[in-house]
Amino acid sequence: MQASFFQKGVNVNLALFDLDNTLLSGDSDFEWSQFMIDKGVLSREVFEAKNVAFYEQYKAGTLDIFEFLDFQLKPLSQYPRTVLDAWHEEFMQTKIRPMMGDKARALVAKHRAAGDVCLIVTATNSFVTAPIAREFDIENLIATDPEEIAGEFTGRVAGTPSFREGKVVRMEAWLAERRWTWGSFFATWFYSDSLNDLPLLEKVAHPVAVDPDATLRAHAQQHQWDILSLR
């Protein structure tokens, strides 16, 4: 989508999608760690309890994102990228594609057919999520970026994590790079399940709570936001 579309006066919409427990009927971040544990790559004794604890903190809205990223990204630095990529394809086949439901695919297809600019905006790191975005046929992705040197991961995060208020920061930087603003679009949507996404939900004209957690459901009902199920 080029800036010239706006200059010609064409009404262009923006559709943003959270990924985990929104387009997916599960959490790709949590499942990636579980996948690595099941393969024996990560120690079950060391990692499984921490993975569950971090996931519960995320759902409760108490997650320390930098503490979590230290846990999540360090294992990426311990294996060559070619090995990680091969594992990821297996992960896509066994874990992710079964979580990609027909309703979620249809929602994305509806926005694409309308010519809307579509993005996935997710806290999960881009190594895990970039192939998932491609599977949904969404070319634009804002995700937490693992630091890379010469194509290999360092185990550290690069830039601002795409989490809570960080999603707004990253989204507005993405718009600015294209000389766009929120006002460049005729209508804007964001679909999410999580209380953690309230900062970005409150930036769009049409916030949609998708199979929401209890806090987001109550907020959506109070503010008369749409509530949708993709399950």
Give residue-wise pLDDT tens across range 101-122.
999 999 999 999 999 999 999 9
Helix (H) or strand (E) holding 214: helix 214-222
Report residue 5's pLDDT band, with 50, 70 and 90 as the boundaries.
low
CATH number at residue 44: 3.40.50.1000
Average confidence (pLDDT) over 212-225: 96
Strand 206-210 to 117-125 pairing: unpaired
pLDDT tens-digit map of 51-87: 899 999 998 999 999 999 898 899 999 999 999 999 9
Average confidence (pLDDT) over 180-188: 96
Catalytic residue status for 27: no
Average confidence (pLDDT) over 206-225: 97
- Give start and end residues of each alpha helix (H) in 44-125: 44-60, 65-73, 81-91, 102-113
Whether the per-residue pLDDT at 8 is higher than 70: the answer is no
Of the residues 20, 27, 193, 213, only one is catalytic, namely 20
The pLDDT assigned to 28 comes to: 97
Output the CA–CA distances (angstroms, integers) from residue 97 to 27, 33, 47, in the order listed.
Answer: 12, 17, 24
The pTM of the full predicted model, rounded to 2 decimals, is: 0.93
Report residue 6's pLDDT band, with 50, 70 and 90 as the boundaries.
low
Of the residues 18, 193, 197, 213, only one is catalytic, namely 18
DSSP secondary structure code for residue 95 in this structure = I
Q: Considering its fold, how many domains does the chain have in total?
A: 1
The pLDDT assigned to 1 comes to: 43
Average pLDDT of the chain to the nearest whole number: 94
The pLDDT assigned to 24 comes to: 98
Whether the per-residue pLDDT at 4 is higher than 50: the answer is no
The pLDDT assigned to 11 comes to: 83
Whether the per-residue pLDDT at 2 is higher than 60: the answer is no
Catalytic residue status for 145: no
Among candidate residues 99, 96, 157, the one with its CA nearest the CA of residue 128: 96
- The answer to whether the CB of 206 falls within 8 A of the CB of 188 is yes
- The range of the structural domain enclosing residue 84 comes to 4-228
Whole-number Å distance between alpha carbons of 18 and 177: 21
pLDDT tens-digit map of 35-50: 999 999 899 988 899 9
